[in-house]
């Protein structure tokens, strides 16, 4: 595998093959700031997931397309060695760490054909022990074809495997220098918003962005800022090189639910385009056990078709 510190051609997305996503949370966290906090434990170790649906306006092909986004946050046991969910964490406690998993989906239609995109981010809850996200995967499918990318943390770098139906993106296996991931910011907001970086930083842009715009995958300089009031806080990430700005708004108070986000950037046609999403509905539920026809009414609770 060849080492590339600041240059990686990204190609990412789809191939979502998931067997069982049944959760068994680790109930022995020990991080001083958040993990030993009773409010935190009562919320994130209650045996349910938080599902948030959003009204999405997705920029694509120089136009805006209406759709739906969903953020699913849940804690679960995670293998340190294999970087996958542990099915039997009690059998190998030394290999077990608790992560906050985010499953982030987008569904929208462009003309005659639909897009279905999914991002999964696995961030250790014990931020005093594990400062970096362990793994990110992203997939996307539409009628032209599908692509898939996976990043696994390995010491001071991420191993990137990327597969695509595009000739120039091809199949890639490379290493990228470890930096803050844009895709882990969503989890940091939920775990420890006071640790969000500010000022000039290096960031690996999100896989949704690099996929849709066929961008090179490499760390970039960005300027991060936080503004807040009594009820809402905004995290703003600006990439001067790309003329791109991502703003995420969330509740100032625990559990710091994400209320909306806006992404402004220069599209492939050279014009500024904007993607927005606004919180619609929230459901706290053990969704993995609600998989029969009789449970389909629950989608109405999230305003999902």
Average confidence (pLDDT) per 10 residues, the chain, 305 residues: 36 34 39 65 97 96 94 97 94 95 97 96 94 95 93 95 83 91 97 95 92 78 94 97 94 97 84 94 97 96 93
What is the reported pLDDT for 186? 97
What is the reported pLDDT for 15? 31
- Give the separation between CA 303 and CA 257, rounded to whole angstroms: 18
What is the reported pLDDT for 226? 97
What is the reported pLDDT for 35? 55
- Give the separation between CA 40 and CA 45, rounded to whole angstroms: 8
> Could you report how far apart the first and last alpha carbons of the chain are, in Å?
44
What is the reported pLDDT for 167? 79
The pTM for the full model equals 0.87
- Give the separation between CA 228 and CA 211, rounded to whole angstroms: 31
What is the reported pLDDT for 268? 67
Peptide bond into 32 cis (omega under 30): no
What is the reported pLDDT for 30? 36
> For the residues of 259-296, what is the DSSP string, one character each?
EEEEEEEE-TTSSEEEEEEEEEEEEEE-GGG--SGGGG
- Give the separation between CA 64 and CA 160, rounded to whole angstroms: 30
């Amino acid at each position: 595998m060849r080492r590339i510190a600041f240059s990686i051609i990204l190609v990412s997305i789809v191939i979502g093959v998931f067997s069982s996503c049944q959760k068994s949370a680790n109930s022995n966290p020990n991080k001083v700031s958040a993990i030993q906090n009773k409010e935190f434990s009562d919320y994130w170790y209650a045996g349910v997931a938080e599902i948030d649906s959003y009204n999405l306006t997705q920029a694509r092909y120089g136009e805006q397309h209406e759709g739906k986004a969903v953020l699913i946050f849940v804690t679960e046991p995670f293998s340190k060695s294999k970087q996958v969910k542990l099915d039997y964490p009690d059998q190998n406690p030394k290999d077990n760490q608790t992560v906050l998993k985010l499953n982030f989906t987008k569904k929208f239609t462009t003309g005659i054909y639909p897009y279905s995109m999914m991002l999964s981010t696995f961030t250790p809850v014990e931020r005093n022990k594990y400062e970096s996200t362990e793994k990110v995967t992203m997939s996307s499918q539409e009628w032209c074809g599908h692509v898939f990318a996976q990043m696994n943390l390995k010491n001071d770098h991420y191993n990137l495997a990327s597969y695509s139906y595009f000739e120039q993106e091809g199949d890639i296996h490379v290493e990228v220098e470890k930096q803050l991931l844009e895709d882990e910011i969503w989890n940091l907001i939920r775990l420890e918003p006071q640790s969000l970086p500010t000022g000039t930083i290096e960031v690996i842009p999100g896989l949704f962005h690099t996929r849709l715009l066929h961008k090179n995958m490499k760390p970039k300089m960005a300027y991060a800022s936080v503004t807040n009031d009594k009820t809402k806080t905004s995290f703003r990430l600006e990439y001067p090189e790309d003329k791109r700005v991502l703003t995420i708004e969330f509740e100032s108070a625990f559990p710091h639910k994400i209320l909306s986000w806006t992404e402004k950037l220069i599209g492939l046609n050279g014009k500024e385009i904007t993607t927005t999403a606004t919180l619609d509905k929230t459901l706290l539920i053990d969704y993995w056990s609600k998989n029969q026809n009789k449970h389909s009414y629950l989608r109405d609770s999230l305003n999902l078709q």
